[in-house]
Structure 1
Amino acid sequence: MDKEVYIGTILQNVANPKFRYKPNVNEKPLEFFAKVDPTPGVVGVNKLVAPPQFPKVSLVAPDGLVVSGPGYRFNEQNNAVAAWQNTINSPTLSVKIDAEQIARGRDVFVRAGCIRCHAGAYLTNNRVVSAKVVGTEPSRAQALKKTEKVFGEAVFYAPDTPVPVPKNAKVLKVPTEQLDKEQIRLAFAHGDSKGGYKVPSLIGLSWSAPYLHDGGVAVGPNGELGLTGTLGKGIVPDTRNSLRALIDRTLRQQVIRANVSDPQLRAVHVSGDGHRYWIDPQEGFTKEEQKAVIDYLLSLTYP
């Protein structure tokens, strides 16, 4: 996508009017943004602080920097956003699903073995699984691989450190000895690891289509296939149809073929392939059981 179109699209409807771009003015989006950019010379618009390990990266600062603005304490804004995110629940379902149908779907979910990874209150074991095991598009699993060359100690400034950070600010070592080293190796694709993906929660699937790690499993309300047939044409993927494509191998193959036929999707490594765990007739499940498990998945809002 052209940079001007990309920036203009983002800035047209931003919440803060100071940063809102008006397409009818005789000014290109990048020219406009250069005038209002609060952090010129820095990627994005965040105010950033270099942690003690900078210019190296670490487990607690994988991109090397921490969002912290003047007048706040070090990392306070990140913690505040995280606390707010923890208060968010999925919206109430607009369509009610029969409780008995949900129970049937849950039973299918367990019998199909989904519970091995999608367990607990949020239906995730919070583990990183090898990309080879998951079988999905592997490129994103290696996004942090090069950090191994500049990986430093996990250290942070003390939480009461003001920003701007004063000289001789107190530095604390972040405890990491208790962490699973193999999980770290998978998450960062360090060593000979090809990387992995963290098992996602299944809460809120009604609002999160398209699915899978590359976002490639998408089917429209009228059977439009893949991203090329849905979002690529301004069509919002249908959650029920997209979930069916996630667990039905025949429909999934149609989605994959649609995606890989698009050179733009191939260029960004989106296919919708992988996660070959099926709940379909070939696996011994009936269409009714398939529908029940989809109903169950769509019923999941919050614990």
Structure 2
Amino acid sequence: MEKQYKRQNLQLVVPPQRPRLDIVIPSRSQPDQAAFLKESIASIERQSLLGSIHARAIICCDPDYDPSNIPQSSCLAIEVVESEQPLQAAALNAGLVAVDAHFVAFLEDDDAWHPRFLETALAAHQKLLDSGTTSSLISSNQLEVDSNGVIERVNDFATPSGWFMSIATLRNVGLFDPRYRLHLDNDWLGRAAAHKVPRIHLVEALAPMKVNHLSQVRPWLFKVLKNSNGTCRLARHSLLIPLVRRLVHPDSGMARISRDPQLAQESAAECQRLVQTYGRIPW
């Protein structure tokens, strides 16, 4: 089944003077869509690396999206693509089909990057290249905040908003599997690990690094290593907070699962399928 989600015409091209980066932003039609997109795009505009690359935001919208919700930018190219149906996998895949760059990153519309995210991710990518690999995957933990900006916790799972990869990685792993509605990110990470894509998971400067410490005080970081099929290692950056800010609100996917018994049942079924496919739930 996996091959049908690969895009065969993704090609690694000769870099120009400045490398190209496409940032895929899935965005559902909802009352806060305009505000979410304004902040996520602003966080891209604040990137320290922006002047050194050709960056483009590919906003992936539902078929009935409101064009007035799409922000303008004076320093960032923005393209809007419509998904065939209002599903996250469909939106993400519509964006990936439009990718034409050397690097690909993801940013959910209700999340934001620290100004040094791209700078740090590209440096981590270079470390993987220096080790002899031709593909790479960078992920990051997140700082979760509520709608008032109050910090709730550090989330160590590798949500797509912290993913940065070479086009070679996207070409090898392929698109998202539309059979997954809730845990498509776990499935994609599972396929990346099955393809032996080397990965660096970025964590804040004071995060523990020894495995015995992780299992005691940061069990989710321990899970990232344990459930990556040996393809992932941790790397500290110099900041005291994660490089991705994740907004926790009532319409987020995890919030809806927690309060909707039908979604919770669907989540459990998808997790069971992941275990059957990979022998674990990929992290």
**When the two structures are superposed, what TM-score results if normalisation uses the length of structure 1?**
0.22
Whose radius of gyration is greater, 1 or 2?
1
Query: Higher strand fraction: Structure 1 or Structure 2?
Result: 2
**TM-score, normalising length from structure 2?**
0.23
